[in-house]
Amino acid sequence: MADDVAAACSPTAMPIAEARPMRLLPLLPLVAALALSPAGPHSGSARAQDGAEAQVLTAPGLALPGSFTGTIPMASGPGAEWHLDLWPDQVFHLRQDYPDQSAADIGRWHADPARRAIVLRGGREAPVFLEVRGNGDLRLMTPGGESIESDLPYTLAAGPLDPAAVSLPMTGMFRYMADAATFSVCLTGRSYPVAMEGAYIEAERAYLAIEDRDPGEAVLAVLEGTLAMRPAMEGPDRTHLVIDRFSRFAPGDTCDRARADAALTDTYWRLLEIGGDEIAPMEGSREPYLILHSPDGDTTSAFNATVGCNMMRGGYERGAGDALSFGQAAMTMMACPPPLDTSERALTEALGQVARLQITATTLELFDETGTRVLMAEAVYLP
């Protein structure tokens, strides 16, 4: 049973701040029917987001906004420290501290009256089911939404909202105007001021360099960031986005297209960058792309790639978690004009260095063993 729970919430390494669990007095029993009306994606004031508003006892039997904390058992070794923040506009932030790494997820939750539970749906493939207890606590359920029959403590204790800092890959609409930037997260619709630290200046420069952009226009951004409390320009501290690593802007794209992560395999990945250098189609040549084909029976997983000249074909191997490596590739032998000849050699070298991958919405990034990005691509021609 613990293996099932661990499978539903596999961690992604990410350093984050320490949680401070709190306890709330027992609450009323669960109301059988859901009475919450659906909340819009942009609902919830800044005060509510940061815990400045009083708690309200919601129909599912939870005092919100609130934080729910506890140690969830693991299949082996010490448990994982969970910190779950819930808001009445149905937004959640989840942070999980494991013995050797940490993970985070954000998204939206909804009530499941039939199970007497709430369901978290964020950036991960599998939802998380949590049973609402009579005293307002939450208890983890199986990945299929069944109760865990165990004496082990799968419970998250309810407490006043104490927002945890969460660090994770994000997509959202970035807007810069009057020397200040905001970022609206695609998964939640929440908008945050962008802190002028970390990789902020890189994002600002890239935004200002976008051609044919209207002043203050919102542009889809792909980045790694941390949502954490920072001093506000006026009033009390509030949650800001700290950009830890900026990936790219995708002018013309919207959150509707970027909410779900594209599949690694059987997706047409248009190459955008190789070894830190941008790459674009040349007139009269095929656009640069990479396709990783799904394994066919017992055959080796295969990939195809080109920068617009010769076609490459070889094998790749998926390891545990985000591990990925490419084998030696065969290639057609046409003479390539510059700069395709240089780009082709760079692609061959980059694929040989790949150690791990990261997919954020429709952006694929491949990294070497040192964490340096060696290739970036975007999913195109999706259904």
In terms of Cα–Cα distance, which of 91, 84, 57 is closest to 68? 84
Question: Burial of 266 by CB count in 10 Å (0-12 exposed, 13-18 middle, 19+ buried)?
Answer: exposed
The C-alpha atoms of residue 29 and residue 134 are separated, in whole angstroms, by: 4
What ranges make up the beta strands (E) of 234-362?
Answer: 238-250, 268-274, 277-278, 289-292, 302-306, 312-318, 324-331, 356-360
Q: How confident is the model at residue 55 (pLDDT cuts 50, 70, 90)?
A: confident
* Portions of the chain given CATH number 2.40.128.270: 268-380
- Domain 166-258's class? mainly beta
The string of pLDDT tens digits covering residues 8-54 is: 444 433 333 333 333 333 333 333 333 333 334 444 455 556 655 67
Q: Share the mean pLDDT of the chain.
A: 86
Name residue 158's beta-bridge partners: 68
List pLDDT tens digits, range 220-236.
999 999 999 999 888 89
CA distance readout (Å), 23 to 66, 67, 73, 81, 95: 10, 9, 20, 15, 18
**Does the predicted TM-score (pTM) go above 0.75?**
yes
| Residue ranges of the chain that CATH labels 2.40.128.640 | 2-160
What was the pLDDT predicted at 367? 97
pLDDT band at 201 (very low <50, low <70, confident <90, very high): very high
- Written as six digits, the tokens of 192 are 């945050």
Q: For 268-380, give the CATH class.
A: mainly beta
CA distances from 39 to 43, 56, 182, 189 (A): 6, 15, 22, 11
Task: Quote the CA–CA distance of 38 and 68 in Å, as a whole number.
Answer: 22
In the chain, residues under CATH classification 2.40.50.540 are 166-258
pLDDT grade for 82, boundaries at 50, 70 and 90: very high
Reference 2, options 59, 87, 71; nearest CA is 71
- Report pLDDT for 45: 53
Is the pLDDT at 154 greater than 90, yes or no?
yes
Going by pLDDT thresholds of 50, 70 and 90, the confidence category of residue 74 is: confident
Range in 32-36, 96-100, 287-291 with the lowest mean pLDDT: 32-36
Give me the pLDDT at residue 256, please.
Answer: 85
Eight-class DSSP state of 3: H
pLDDT exceeds cutoff 50 at 76: yes
* Share above pLDDT 70 across residues of the chain, in percent, rounded to a whole number: 85
Q: Which residue has the tokens 């919405």?
A: 361
pLDDT band with cut points at 50, 70 and 90 for residue 260: confident
Q: What is residue 2's three-state secondary structure? A: helix
**pLDDT of 4 higher than 80:** no
The model's pLDDT over 323-350, given as tens digits with 9 standing for 90+, comes to 999 999 999 999 999 999 999 999 999 9
Please determine, looking at this structure, whether the domain spanning 2-160 carries the CATH number 2.40.128.640.
yes
With 90 as the cut, is the pLDDT of residue 283 above it? no
